Structure 1
Amino acid sequence: MIALPNDDHTCGWYAALPPAAPAKKLVGLQKVDYAIIGAGFAGLAAARRLAELKPNARIILIDAQRVAEGASGRNSGFVIDLPHKFALGHPDPAHKQKLLKLNRSAIAQLEGLVNKHNIQCQWSAAGKYQGAIGERGEAHLNHFEHLMKDLGEPYHWVEKEQLKKVLGTDYYSRAIFTPGSYLMQPAALVRGMGDHLPENVELLEQSPVRSLKKSDGQWILQGDQGTVTTPKVLLATSIFTKEFGYLKNRLLPVMTFASWTRPLTDAEMRRYHGELDWGLTPADHAGTTLRMTADRRILIRNTYKHVPKYGANVTDETRRWIQEDHRKAYLARYPDLADVPFTHTWGGVYAISRNFTNFFGQLEDGVYASACDNGVGAAWGTISGTLLADLVVGTDSQALSDIQYVTGMPSLNPPEPFLGIGVKTRIAFEKWRSRSEL
């Protein structure tokens, strides 16, 4: 049995959107040239690129949920150009430069779509702060500065008093600002892209694929009320790739959580004393991510949980204690805004691998996948989905060579119960070790 997404219905980003039009669902027998499973960043990009390369082909993009309800609409709203913190320490300079080039290509592609279709998603070239609270965080910042120098990328230090003018809090001791990241409302961006797909792409939502099997040279996607047959399947399913029998025991399902406030009133903004539209990630990777959105909401993100059953692992009680932790982090930063309530607390599942390696390529005849974004899905999903389409149709490019250079096979996980015990222990240890930066 394929375990389906089981996301909560408390995602603030999604709740802030206007109601969606009725979903078109999979009904009856559909014969197509290409089927893409998963309508997040990777699936949407793959569909657009396939339609461009094969304008006469029939393409189906299918998702178990509504577009933007899944992981792509649940992140903190960063599109980051720099390689991930773990990748920044890679010993091969070419590896890092290729990642940087790929990420920037994704940003350019997303910005082009936002402008072309006038997608109202708070798209902003705001850059990103990486902030420290105490000695541990500052040590991480010093290391980050060294990595940035090696990469040859621009950055500058922001000291406590100047940082306070931006963030509206003196909680942080200092930060490093990098200019190349973008901010956005992820659910609005993803839905906007779903609303403007090419004519030869048919989007089917609320249509879970219950099985994937091959018969007479065709792949059969079995749904509840219909079937898709196709010679080519693209899995843009992230952690759920293993539900189709691929990369089993190589992907780790991890959920991270966020809470946000309602928009601040004019009076509350005067108490806040900071700026709008900025994002801060923690110098210590297990610390707290902080956002002030363009529409005046303060967002707190921290807490990680191993979720082998995805959303089914998270109860209302779990969300309550997570929100309490978020509230402590919020009050430590904004005690003068203690009367501003949280309106939503939500989680999102993503895939990581023990060797922090992304998978990209062919799994077997007629099946291709981009899986395991290691927590940086907006840029990576966009460029990997685009280039997966190139791979499927045989279009060569330097970008395709670059993504093949930087990807590989995620390493095997230990068997259960050792895996679960090890992951939970590691998460708890990192939280304890990073407690001063939360």
Structure 2
Amino acid sequence: MHVIGAASYKDRVSAFDWTVVGAGFTGLAAARRLAELNPNDTVALVDAKPVGWGASGRNSGFVIDLPHKFELDSDDPDRLNAILRLNKQAIADLGGHVSEAGIDCAWSQAGKLQGAVKERGTGKMRGFVQALEKIGQPYTKLDRTEVQQITGTDFYSGAIHTPGCVLMNPVQLTRGLAKSLPKNVTLFDGCPVTNFDRGSRGFGMTLRSQGVTFELTTASVLLCTNAFTQEFGFLKNRIVPVITFASMTRPLNDAEMEAYGGQLDWGLTPADSGGTTLRMTQDRRLLVRNQYDYAGQYGVQDPDLDPIRKKHREAFDKRYPKLRHVPFDSSWGGVCGLSRNHVSYFGEIAHDVWNSSCHNGVGVARGTISGKLLAEAASGRSSTLLKDMFAVSNTPSLNPPDPFLGLGVRARLKLAAWESKEEV
């Protein structure tokens, strides 16, 4: 992989056979696969931010193998098994890259807990078990004491452990994947696209870096831009950008670890989707994720994090009253793309323009495999997995315009928060 220095951008026009826009998990997988399938072609990988700075580096570090949340409500076992095959291949691919490139990202096949607090959560958990049995996936039921032995808190009445999920550090993983890309990939990160149009011989893009603009031309484009796809003129008013928030402590010292009393290296997601995600990392940090907001402008300003951080503190202190004194080391948000009909888009969205987006909150696995398969489709390949991807994808439904969309999303989020208040 080549990285073009900012000083060399001036007066430069670069021509590439392929350009991938978006260097998150989807774009990284797409660029890698394009380079592998077309070793004599040149591939540009472009991102507005440095690798690891966007949503892919801001998740909570779960690579989930199972169909997620609303997908499990499907009565179609063929669809569920297709999603399962896609996710498992994504995990296998990522694990292979981590091993081959020696990526230090705390990669761990620890599985995942799904925890419940009160009756609403336990009811959701029973539905989760029924869905697992429907597709023949293994699980282990844990009672309050067993959950406490792992998590160090008696806050949860029980949990389901599933073994296929992988935990990792998302920033280190994305940056490691970028550093290990094939040599025929050129990375332009920290370079927002300010203009995109079709010419007589392909596409032209204007990129900007540190106040300098330069041109890039390309024959084919793969848009791995998730919620930002709308800014390129595609899927307009079909993606709902929602921002999720997390806070993480500094590493616990020895005395705090004794007071904590649980294990290292586990992750828990809530049985009720409005609840709290919890993690203990390998380096002794506890992470709390809850609170959601409509991200009409794709983000929030730092002062807006103060009430979010307060809610995280409340959730943390309820679970770990003996660790009330432990401060949060950082708080952040990340934008994900949702659709009102819960589907993802995959395919050729215009001639020589390919897109995978709207992964509905499970972008690590779904993004990774869809990026790889998008490159295969654009390169004229076919496979069983590609057929699976087309089968489980569709067009996100049309949204009402703002301000009605924002008002509706925020109202729905407030209702979900009220319904799930005992699980937070």
Is 1:424 aligned to 2:410, yes or no? yes
1:123 touches 1:185 (CA, 8 Å); kept in 2? yes
Which residue of the other structure, out of 288, 292, 313, is the alignment partner of 2:276? 288
Gaps of 5+ in 2: none
Give the superposition deviation at 1:316. Answer: 2.9
Which residue of the other structure, out of 334, 338, 345, is the alignment partner of 1:352? 338
Aligned to 1:232, the other structure's residue is in SS state strand
- Map 1:259-408 → 2, pairs under 5 A: 259-311=247-299, 314-408=300-394
Give the superposition deviation at 1:23. Answer: 7.0
1:24 touches 1:203 (CA, 8 Å); kept in 2? no
- Map 1:167-182 → 2, pairs under 5 A: 167-182=151-166
Give the superposition deviation at 1:22. Answer: 9.0
Which residue of the other structure, out of 238, 242, 263, is the alignment partner of 2:230? 242
2:3 touches 2:186 (CA, 8 Å); kept in 1? no
- In 2, Cα distance between equivalents of 1:315 and 1:211: 25
Q: TM-score, normalised by structure 2?
A: 0.97
- In 2, Cα distance between equivalents of 1:397 and 1:284: 36
Aligned to 1:67, the other structure's residue is in SS state coil
Counterpart AA for 1:390: E
- In 2, Cα distance between equivalents of 1:390 and 1:382: 13
- Map 1:35-184 → 2, pairs under 5 A: 35-184=19-168
- In 1, Cα distance between equivalents of 2:153 and 2:332: 24
Give the superposition deviation at 1:317. Answer: 2.9
- In 2, Cα distance between equivalents of 1:283 and 1:217: 51
**Structure 1 equivalent of residue 395 of structure 2:** 409
Counterpart AA for 1:258: A
Which has the larger strand fraction?
2
Counterpart AA for 2:191: S
1:383/1:243 CA distance change after superposition, 3 Å: same
1:59 touches 1:200 (CA, 8 Å); kept in 2? yes
Give the superposition deviation at 1:415. Answer: 2.3
- In 2, Cα distance between equivalents of 1:400 and 1:217: 29
Aligned to 1:310, the other structure's residue is in SS state coil
- In 2, Cα distance between equivalents of 1:429 and 1:241: 28
The percent identity for this pair of structures is 50
1:249 touches 1:412 (CA, 8 Å); kept in 2? yes
2:46 touches 2:189 (CA, 8 Å); kept in 1? yes
Which residue of the other structure, out of 193, 215, 218, is the alignment partner of 1:230? 218
Aligned to 1:399, the other structure's residue is in SS state helix
**Structure 2 equivalent of residue 13 of structure 1:** none
- In 2, Cα distance between equivalents of 1:379 and 1:91: 22
- In 1, Cα distance between equivalents of 2:121 and 2:303: 31
Q: TM-score, normalised by structure 1?
A: 0.94
Counterpart AA for 1:64: A
- In 2, Cα distance between equivalents of 1:281 and 1:163: 13
- In 2, Cα distance between equivalents of 1:72 and 1:142: 31
Which residue of the other structure, out of 195, 202, 208, is the alignment partner of 1:211? 195
Is 1:24 aligned to 2:10, yes or no? no
Counterpart AA for 2:26: A
1:110-139 CA distances to partner (integer Å, 9 max, x unpaired)? 000000011000000000000000111001
Counterpart AA for 2:170: P
1:270-304 CA distances to partner (integer Å, 9 max, x unpaired)? 11100000000000001000000010000000000
Aligned to 1:223, the other structure's residue is in SS state strand
Give the superposition deviation at 1:338. Answer: 0.9
Counterpart AA for 1:399: L
1:31-82 CA distances to partner (integer Å, 9 max, x unpaired)? 1100000000000000110011000101100111100000000000000000
Give the superposition deviation at 1:315. Answer: 2.9
**Structure 2 equivalent of residue 251 of structure 1:** 239
Give the superposition deviation at 1:267. Answer: 1.1
Counterpart AA for 2:68: H
- In 1, Cα distance between equivalents of 2:402 and 2:228: 18
Which residue of the other structure, out of 149, 168, 186, is the alignment partner of 2:170? 186
- In 1, Cα distance between equivalents of 2:216 and 2:61: 33
Counterpart AA for 1:96: L
- In 1, Cα distance between equivalents of 2:321 and 2:391: 48
Aligned-pair Cα RMSD in Å: 1.2
- Map 1:193-208 → 2, pairs under 5 A: 193-208=177-192
1:24 touches 1:205 (CA, 8 Å); kept in 2? no
- In 2, Cα distance between equivalents of 1:186 and 1:344: 15
